[in-house]
Structures are given as C-alpha cells and as structure tokens.
Amino acid sequence: MVADGLMHNPPKERSPFRRVPFALALSLAVLGGTGCGKEPPVTGAIRVRYGDVWEEFPTPVSSRLSPDTETNAEFYLGPVFTFCNSDDLPGERRKDARGLCVYVDFDSFAKGRGPAEYAISGTAHGYLMSKSDVHFEPGLGHTSGLKEIWTQSFCPEEGRNEYVYQQLSGRLVLEENSEDRIVGQLELTVQGPTGGTCPGEAAEVDLDFDLPM
C-alpha cells in the first residue's frame, strides 16, 4: 500500500511527451557479454510480471556506472548505477523485444569510499521518462544517501507513459568500492507498474556485479 499522503492526483500539466529511448535501452541490454571465456560484469536475474505470468530475462545484464568525479561534478550525467536487460537472445535483436532498466542514484557517490550497505524502502512516482520525472519518497528504514531508485520498462510499442507509483524494497551491498572497481549485489522488489510504455505489474531484481572504474 502506498504511504499516506502519496496517493494524490498526478499533475495536470507537464512537459510534452517524450518517447522512451528504446533503441538506447535495447543497445544497453544486448551489450552484457564480455567476450569468450570471461565472466560478465553483471550476473543474476531480472523478472517482470505481466498479468499472471512472470517473465525472466536471460543473462548477462548490461550496466552503466557514473560515479562522481572532478570532471563531472558540475554536470548531471544520469544515475550512478543503471542495469538493463531484455528478452533478446544473445547475438539477436528482436523487433518485438521488451525489457527493464533499474536506476539507482545517490546524493553523492565517489569511488574509493570502501564497503557500504544500503537498505531500500520507499515509493517512486512520476512519469519516469527521465530523472526530472522521478519523485522518490523514502520509507521506514531507508538508508540516507541513497537518493532514489526506480524502474522503467522499454519496448518498441507506441504509447504514452502513465503516471505511476512503485513500491520498492530491498538492499544494495557494496563489498568493494576502490579506485579500480566496484563489487556488490542488488536485491530489489517492485510492486506496482514498472513504468515505460509497456509496464509490467511487478518486478524482482537479484544481481551480482563486478564493475571496473
């Protein structure tokens, strides 16, 4: 259930509709491999429920990491962590492919800070088309510093993004945050529409990652 005070009507006016960047998301989702004989940097599962059916997207999962640096401190380059996956098979691009991206952002995140663990509890709401469309209300036990987390589905279908509410819970564990790499796990449960033009009704994310800086 959405926390008291959050179930209000969405704004009547907003910026013109912008289509989900499907080509970009799909490109991310099919770039998870690292070559023959090498372990992919992100493994695990992303599952989305469509109606009564759970669909699990195949591994590996693609990722993007954007920690704070001296060169980007004055510019917003997107969330710190982005994880995407789709039902494309490795080496193939289906015109009807659909998938899910997970975004994790922080008030401040610099490499080399060492291990950390963050509890995730809160509600993301908005059109979820871009960072400016996301509003995150932390819940009981949510770790401060983890600014916001949300999901967005993607597919080639036409349509408008609806204003949605997502209840999110889980944890993000950073076993290593050094100058050279970030190693950890993300466990996430999403209740409510997963956003985008082809949302599911719920999602589950269970990922292990080893990302070079």
Exposure of 28 by Cβ count < 10 A (0-12 exposed, 13-18 middle, 19+ buried)?
buried
pTM of structure: 0.79
The DSSP 8-state label assigned to residue 23 in this structure reads H
Cβ neighbours of residue 172 closer than 8 Å, sequence gap 6 or more? 104, 117, 118, 120, 146, 184, 185, 186, 187
The answer to whether the CB of 174 falls within 8 A of the CB of 115 is: yes
Q: What is the pLDDT of residues 85-144, one digit of tens each?
A: 887 755 666 667 788 999 999 998 888 999 999 999 999 999 876 667 789 999 999 999
Q: What is the pLDDT of residues 156-203, one digit of tens each?
A: 766 677 899 999 999 999 999 999 999 999 999 999 999 988 899 999
What Rg value do the Cα atoms of the chain yield, rounded? 17
What is the CA 38 to chain-centroid distance, rounded? 24
Report whether pLDDT(81) > 60. yes
Most confidently modeled of 71-80, 96-105, 159-168, 204-213?
204-213
